[in-house]
Amino acid sequence: MAKNRIVIIGGVATGPKTAARCRRLDQEAEITMVERGDLLSYAGCGMPFYIEGVVEFETLLKTSVGVTRDADYFENGMGIRVMDRTEAVKINRNSKTITVKDLKTGETADLPYDKLVLATGAGPFVPRMEGVDLEGVHRLYNPHQAKAIRDALDMGAKKVAIVGGGLIGMEICGAFLERGCEVTILEMMPRLVPALMDEEMALLLESYLKKNGVQVVTGSPVSRIVDDGSGKVAGVETADGRRFEAELVIVAIGVRPNVGLAVEAGLEIGPTRAIAVNEHLQTSDPDIYAGGDCVECTHLVTGEKVYAPMGSTANKHGRIIANNINGMETDFPGVTTSAVFKILDYNCGCTGITERRAKELGYEVETSLCPQRDYSFFMPGAGMFVAKLVAEKASGKILGCQVMGTGDGVKRIDVVATALKYGGSVKDLADLDLAYAPPFSQAIDAIAHAANVVRNKMDGLAHGVSPIEIKGRLESDDDFLFVDCRGRAAFEAETITDRRTVNISMEELLERLDGEPRDREIILFCNTSITAYRAERILKARGYKDIKFLDGSLRAWPYPLKAPF
């Protein structure tokens, strides 16, 4: 019986995972992995930590037991032929071969295949911009680029400009801050991480970064990178004419799928401009599979096609492709576009879709903005974070979640991602039998609290107003009473200062408001909205009709607070 010839183009994530799984399933197959670079199966997501100095370069290239994942590792340990520093230049579908070029010698050859796997990944998007090729301008997509950045820091570079405030920009920002750099982040959209976070959550992140010395510039694209006159970078300039000094510029605008081979071979490209695949990760040619950062996925919440490059997804793809090549029919259902990142001691994450995206898709939504501790308040070290939960108003079906803060919100992102996978509702989320002990969570977990706030709103018991809406109304002439219902000492320390702000504690509430018309709009706030919600219920029971509270109150207020006097 002829041996199955499997050729894999790409040797970073999906490729090595496919190769290793194929070998485990078929000891006789001829497996060849073609990689144009000189590094194999490296931990790309660890590069910011290498730049920071937490790990060393070699660690990114090794297994958990310290063995370097090089050609010898695959060839001698697994019987997988590796052709590194070799570029696949053409797919010949009629003859079922690929043409490869040895980048060391320039020689070309044709490799036959029975099954072909495209794991070509993605590349950094580099804009057509003056100065983008200056010395001191870097991208971050492979360990060699990470090493060049770290070398620049080791040689004394301190002023860093990051062009792009998305996921890559955020991940690298933390590394520079830990190295003591002066950091400027420039994002052309009106807010940071625009694809991942709603405005109030992005503003919380921006506020935190500013408190830690980061200069955040949003709403104006970078127009050029400035030359110091000798071919080295001196800074960046925005479209509105502002200039920011920098010794080091990181272009982190995002990545684009590497689809050139697929396009030339006539394979179908999807609406996201990544390779279209079916649930088995087959392309439009059933003998050609594709996975990782070069393909598009199905969003489990919306059903739409999305481009969501993630190392975790790439590794799942590798296993599924290998299963299907070897007759073990396996589906890849899709993604919830979960993403997490850390900056200093701030933990950030999201899953599903934002409120903004949900409304664009026509959903009528209900949300909660819920500040909570990650575990019991009486335990040392408990941290706060804000969770924003987005649900369909009529059904309570969960649509997405975002977290931001020093507490462990990432654990809750994983819980919501699981609920999204199975189409769960806010009731399902609140009913989950999550493990409880004081060092790990509250008796009612933080994410269950967020779900219960949404349920209270759906049941007409709670009426919240977002910080964004309140900010707009405070800047207008709207007539409403804005009540800080905390004690006097807390109010005098700091509050949301405005001519409409009054301090009426819970104990004074009914007496102080007795003369107010029952139909006057009153908006309450406290530290976390727990007291404000209780006040709303008391006032509603006494006949006050237009009572609301500030969602998340002061813990989720992304704007400056001041003493009232």
Domain ranges, ordered by start, for the chain: 5-121+256-325, 137-253, 345-458, 464-556
Active-site residue identified among 22, 45, 181, 526: 45
The pLDDT of residue 126 is: 85
Is 45 designated active site? yes
| Domain spanning 137-253, CATH class | alpha beta
Q: Note the CATH number of domain 5-121+256-325.
A: 3.50.50.60
pLDDT under 70: residue ranges of the chain: 1
| Domain spanning 345-458, CATH class | alpha beta
Do the beta carbons of residue 236 and residue 137 sit within 8 Å? no
CA distance 387 to 454: 12
Q: Are domains 5-121+256-325 and 137-253 of this chain identical in fold? A: yes
Q: pLDDT tens for residues 352-370? A: 999 999 999 999 999 999 9
Q: The dihedral of CA 118, 121, 126, 127: what is its sign?
A: positive
The pLDDT of residue 128 is: 87
**CA 340, 345, 348 angle in degrees (round to 5)?**
25
Which residue's entry shows tokens 């183009």?
9
Which residue's entry shows tokens 């003591």?
180
The pLDDT of residue 43 is: 94
The pLDDT of residue 221 is: 94
For residue 455, which of 556, 370, 540 has the smallest C-alpha distance? 370
| Domain spanning 464-556, CATH class | alpha beta
The whole model's pTM is what?
0.95
The pLDDT of residue 561 is: 95
The pLDDT of residue 1 is: 55
Q: Which residues pair with 482 in a beta bridge?
A: 501, 523
The pLDDT of residue 515 is: 85
For residue 418, which of 393, 401, 439, 435 has the smallest C-alpha distance? 401
The pLDDT of residue 61 is: 96
AA identity, residue 278: N
Alpha-helix runs per DSSP H in 402-487 = 410-421, 426-431, 446-458, 467-474
